């Protein structure tokens, strides 16, 4: 009997350093690569879950994945709708004997996995989105430290060496011998270009996809930018002020493990400093937001987060709409929100400032802000988005109980000459 496998890509749109896909390629007689586009429903009023910026960047990444698979004599089948229903339909057509995909432990993706398992076809899932392998952790995830600093110290005390990446498959099994339509709409809009974008994803070198992700990493290292990262990371605009890994990481076009592996190689060759360490530090934050999902699960998505107080959370719809449109009357906030709406990107510093302003100055529900970021950010990551909004709202694991930013102080420190504000408000 043939091993006929459906490999369902999720947030791992790559072939290099993709342990799950490599296993599928080695153990299958027939392999069907699949990507399912969920229904893009409104998540709040007329806000689509996946806004135009995310749609475009995803389209670019899928185009590159499809080309890569074709170069290995395979292809990518794209479908739309309920993932369980689609897999059931396809499984019946090709006689699938196994389904393999990346494990994601946020609530909706967990529910999807339960539904797929209910089909009665053997399912294998692989955790592969973190920098550090779960088996390397010096604690059980259910009992991991709540506070990031304690988590970091335990990790660093063990001196974990990030594993080398898994190789590309040497060859891929054939596609199913069935009449399957592999065509997809490979076009994406070109009318969204803004000259001030800090991540200009419509320019060739910033397109979504594995080829661009790997090239960007090598170019970043070639310019020796890891040695200056900490000094520039809080700037508000520009292509080189931060690593810009996050959009490609969000779709899994490159793995966090491989980035960390290459940074270590860079340090071995050119020397380590506080800035190159800080890239590891930020990747560790990314891991932390993932790992706390194993401990707290759906509680991270409740209105009061990890707080034991069942507080009433206010929400002012008028203020929320002004925030979305960049019409609050606060120039720094409005500049940031226009940048986000026009480009799908925002610096980490501005993300914290506008989030704080929504919660503490406009008296709005933090969950609505998280939904807007989900809709707009090309580097949206379910774990980091939830973790950061909980952090600002004081409903996560941080013992300080929230982060209210003084916009006047932030203005003076990060945009003293009003360069950023003039860029987006004029």
pLDDT tens-place string over residues 207-238 = 999 999 999 999 999 999 999 999 999 999 99
φ, ψ (nearest 5 deg) of residue 4: -110, 110
Question: Contact 102/252 with Cβ under 8 angstroms?
Answer: yes
Closest CA to 295 of 284, 286, 306: 306
Give exposure, 149-163, as e/b (b: 16+ Cβ within 10 Å).
eebbeebeeeeeebb
Q: Which residues 6+ apart lie within 8 Å of 202 measured at CB?
A: 56, 190, 192, 193
Q: How confident is the model at residue 188 (pLDDT cuts 50, 70, 90)?
A: low
Q: Is the predicted pLDDT of residue 418 greater than 80, yes or no? A: yes
Give the whole-number percent of the chain exceeding pLDDT 90.
87
Angle of CA points 256, 125, 397, to nearest 5°: 55
For 178-181, the CB contacts below 8 A with 24+ separation are: 178/93, 178/94, 180/32, 180/77, 180/93, 180/94
Which top CATH class is 302-425? Answer: mainly alpha
Cα 234 vs. chain centroid, distance in angstroms? 20
Nearest-angstrom CA–CA distance, 8 and 31:
10
pTM, 2 dp: 0.95
What per-residue confidence (pLDDT) applies to 192? Answer: 65
Q: Bin 358: left if φ > 0, else alpha if -120 < ψ < 50, else beta.
A: alpha
Q: What is the pLDDT of residues 306-356, one digit of tens each?
A: 988 777 778 999 999 999 999 999 999 999 999 999 999 999 999 999 999
Three-state DSSP at 356 gives: helix
What per-residue confidence (pLDDT) applies to 400? Answer: 77
Runs of H (alpha helix) within 159-255: 210-222, 229-232, 246-251
Q: How confident is the model at residue 402 (pLDDT cuts 50, 70, 90)?
A: confident
Q: Which residues 6+ apart lie within 8 Å of 299 measured at CB?
A: 305, 306
Closest CA to 307 of 315, 299, 318, 295: 299
Q: Which residues 6+ apart lie within 8 Å of 56 measured at CB?
A: 188, 189, 192, 201, 202, 208
Residue ranges per domain, the chain?
A: 4-128, 207-297, 302-425
What per-residue confidence (pLDDT) applies to 19? Answer: 97
Q: Candidates 3.40.50.620, 3.40.50.1980, 3.40.50.1100, 3.30.300.30; correct CATH number of 4-128? A: 3.40.50.620
Cα 260 vs. chain centroid, distance in angstroms? 16
Task: Among 115-129, 187-201, 243-257, 400-414, name the one with the lowest average pLDDT.
Answer: 187-201
Q: Which CATH architecture has domain 207-297?
A: Alpha Horseshoe (1.25)
What per-residue confidence (pLDDT) applies to 182? Answer: 81
Q: How confident is the model at residue 1 (pLDDT cuts 50, 70, 90)?
A: confident
What per-residue confidence (pLDDT) applies to 314? Answer: 82
Question: Contact 394/355 with Cβ under 8 angstroms?
Answer: no
Angle of CA points 182, 185, 191, to nearest 5°: 165
Average pLDDT over residues 6-22: 98
Q: Is the predicted pLDDT of residue 123 greater than 70, yes or no? A: yes
Nearest-angstrom CA–CA distance, 373 and 380:
7
């Amino acid at each position: 009997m043939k091993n006929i496998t459906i490999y369902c890509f999720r947030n791992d749109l790559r072939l290099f350093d993709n342990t799950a896909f490599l296993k599928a390629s080695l153990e299958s007689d027939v392999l069907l690569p699949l990507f399912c586009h969920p229904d893009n429903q409104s998540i709040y009023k007329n806000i689509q879950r996946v806004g135009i910026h995310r749609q475009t960047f995803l389209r670019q990444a899928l185009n590159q994945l499809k080309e890569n698979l074709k170069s290995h004599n395979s292809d990518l089948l794209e479908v739309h709708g309920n993932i369980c229903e689609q897999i059931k339909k396809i499984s019946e057509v090709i006689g699938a004997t196994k389904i393999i995909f990346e494990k994601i432990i946020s609530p909706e993706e967990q529910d999807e996995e339960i539904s797929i398992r209910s089909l009665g076809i053997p399912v294998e899932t692989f955790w592969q989105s973190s920098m550090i392998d779960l088996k390397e952790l010096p604690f059980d995830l259910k009992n991991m430290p709540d506070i990031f600093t304690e988590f970091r110290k335990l990790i660093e005390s063990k001196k974990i060496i990030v594993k080398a990446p898994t190789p590309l498959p040497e060859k891929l099994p054939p596609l199913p011998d069935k009449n399957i339509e592999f065509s997809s709409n490979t076009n994406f809009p070109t009318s969204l270009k803004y000259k001030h974008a800090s991540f200009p994803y419509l320019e060739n070198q910033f397109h979504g996809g594995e080829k661009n992700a790997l090239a960007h990493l090598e170019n970043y290292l070639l310019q020796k930018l890891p040695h200056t990262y900490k000094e520039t990371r809080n700037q508000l605009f520009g292509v080189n002020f931060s690593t810009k890994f996050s959009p490609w990481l969000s779709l899994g076009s490159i793995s966090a493990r491989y980035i960390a592996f290459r940074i270590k190689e860079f340090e071995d060759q050119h020397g380590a400093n506080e800035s190159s360490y800080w890239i590891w530090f930020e990747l560790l934050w990314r891991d932390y937001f993932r790992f706390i999902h194993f401990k707290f699960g759906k509680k991270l998505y409740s209105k009061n987060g990890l707080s034991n107080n069942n507080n009433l959370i206010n929400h002012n719809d008028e203020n929320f709409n002004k925030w979305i449109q960049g019409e609050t009357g606060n120039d720094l906030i409005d500049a940031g929100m226009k940048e986000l709406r026009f480009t799908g990107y925002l610096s980490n510093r501005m993300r914290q400032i506008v989030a704080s302003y929504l919660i503490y100055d406009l008296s709005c529900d933090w969950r609505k802000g998280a939904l807007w970021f989900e809709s707009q950010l090309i580097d949206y990551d379910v774990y980091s988005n939830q973790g950061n909004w909980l952090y600002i709202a004081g409903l996560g694991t941080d013992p300080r109980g929230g982060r209210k930013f003084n916009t006047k102080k932030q203005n003076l420190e990060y945009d003293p000459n009003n360069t950023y504000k003039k860029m987006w408000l004029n």
